[in-house]
Amino acid sequence: MPRLSRLALERATSSHDQIAAILGTELLKGLYTPGSNMPAEPELIARFQISRTVMREVMKTLAAKGFVVAKTKVGTRVRDPVYWNYFDADVLAWRVRLGLDDEFMKSLTEVRRSLEPAAAALAAQRRSPTDIAHLRECVRQMARADHTRQSFAEADLDFHLAIGSASGNPLMRSMASVIETALVASFAHSSPVDDPADHEATVNGHAAIVDAIEAGEEQAAAAAILKVIDIGVNRIDVTRKKQRGPQKK
């Protein structure tokens, strides 16, 4: 599956990163029960043929992402998934590798529908001429006729990150990994570039967001970005229903 360059789908290059990715993916799969202990350190060292120092750094990484907690005289215990940091770029990348089911896609959409309209409304309050110029350029890039699914997804991501920047709220900008994961998953199924009419309508929808932001119309900006999100979700739903075929009554 084509990936967006910013998403950490291929970030794991060192032995530390590779092992963290393997164990993190196994945790996401449910191979280790919450409340139970991870395999003992000597067992993991033998499995991966690494030093104790590297193994301990891997566990520190998993602990920082909320997966495990080290307890003296007890071992490294798996935490309940409620503590796992799904906003972490690595965790989302590992989740993408496993495949995003309907329930997780629904969760991503709920987060986007909650946060992105607020970011657009703030951008309408705080935008600068530089912000507007950047957003217009993003729309121009999205309108190119030579896009592949991946290149369009890159341009789409740039647009949504620019909204976060224009909001003036650094926490809004920090939701980049959630947006990116949603785009990776959605464009794996279908993309506006698959249909020229859909492509044009999608570009126009993003241009409408910029129009509202430039005009300082907070509610219109929020509504416009919500419409874009929902159109994308509906596109995925239609594609998935076609892939599943007719449902038996």
pLDDT tens digits, residue range 193-229?
Answer: 989 999 999 999 999 999 999 999 999 999 999 999 9
pLDDT, greater one: 17 or 174: 17
- Note the pLDDT of residue 129: 97
- Give the Cα separation of 176 and 55 in Å (integer): 30
User: Look-up: residue for tokens 């570039």?
Assistant: 193
- Give the Cα separation of 8 and 17 in Å (integer): 11
Domain that holds residue 59: 8-83
Calculate the dihedral angle through the C-alpha atoms of 112, 179, 88, 47, rounding to the nearest 10 degrees. Answer: 120
Would you state the structure tokens that stand for residue 134, as one six-digit string? 């950047």
- Note the pLDDT of residue 248: 55
Q: How many domains does the chain have?
A: 2
Same domain flag for 120 and 45 = no
Question: Quick check: is 2 in a domain?
Answer: no
pLDDT tens digits, residue range 78-113?
Answer: 999 999 998 888 898 888 888 778 888 888 889 999
Highest mean pLDDT among 9-13, 169-173, 228-232: 228-232
pLDDT band at residue 12 using 50, 70 and 90 as cut-offs: very low
CATH of the domain at 115: 1.20.120.530
Mean pLDDT of 179-195: 80
Question: Quick check: is 93 in a domain?
Answer: no
- 3-state SS, one letter per residue, for the chain: CCCCCCCHHHCCCCHHHHHHHHHHHHHHHCCCCCCCECCCHHHHHHHHCCCHHHHHHHHHHHHHCCCEEEECCCEEEECCHHHCCCCCHHHHHHHHHHCCCHHHHHHHHHHHHHHHHHHHHHHHHHCCHHHHHHHHHHHHHHCCCCCCHHHHHHHHHHHHHHHHHHCCCHHHHCCHHHHHHHHHHHHHHCCHHHCHHHHHHHHHHHHHHHHHHHCCCHHHHHHHHHHHHHHHHHHHHHHHHHHHCCCCC
User: Which among 211, 180, 204 has a CA at the least distance from the CA of 100?
Assistant: 180
Query: Considering only 130-134, 153-157, 211-215, which range has the smallest mean pLDDT?
Result: 153-157
Mean pLDDT of 6-29: 78
Which residues, at least 6 apart from 130, have a Cβ–Cβ distance to it below 8 Å?
A: none
Question: Quick check: is 88 in a domain?
Answer: no
CATH of the domain at 61: 1.10.10.10
Question: Quick check: is 130 in a domain?
Answer: yes
Question: Quick check: is 74 in a domain?
Answer: yes
Is-contact 172 162, C-beta < 8 A? Answer: no
User: Look-up: residue for tokens 């926490």?
Assistant: 171
pLDDT at 11 over 60: no
Same domain flag for 181 and 106 = yes
- Note the pLDDT of residue 191: 87
pLDDT band at residue 4 using 50, 70 and 90 as cut-offs: very low
Same domain flag for 196 and 123 = yes
pLDDT at 169 over 80: yes
Same domain flag for 146 and 67 = no
Mean pLDDT of 173-182: 80
Average predicted confidence (pLDDT) for the chain: 88
Question: Quick check: is 33 in a domain?
Answer: yes
Mean pLDDT of 20-42: 95
User: Look-up: residue for tokens 């509610």?
Assistant: 219
User: Which among 199, 204, 197 has a CA at the least distance from the CA of 187?
Assistant: 199
Same domain flag for 224 and 108 = yes
pTM for this prediction: 0.82
- Note the pLDDT of residue 247: 58
- Give the Cα separation of 69 and 61 in Å (integer): 11
pLDDT at 7 over 70: no
% residues pLDDT > 70 (the chain): 91
Same domain flag for 54 and 126 = no
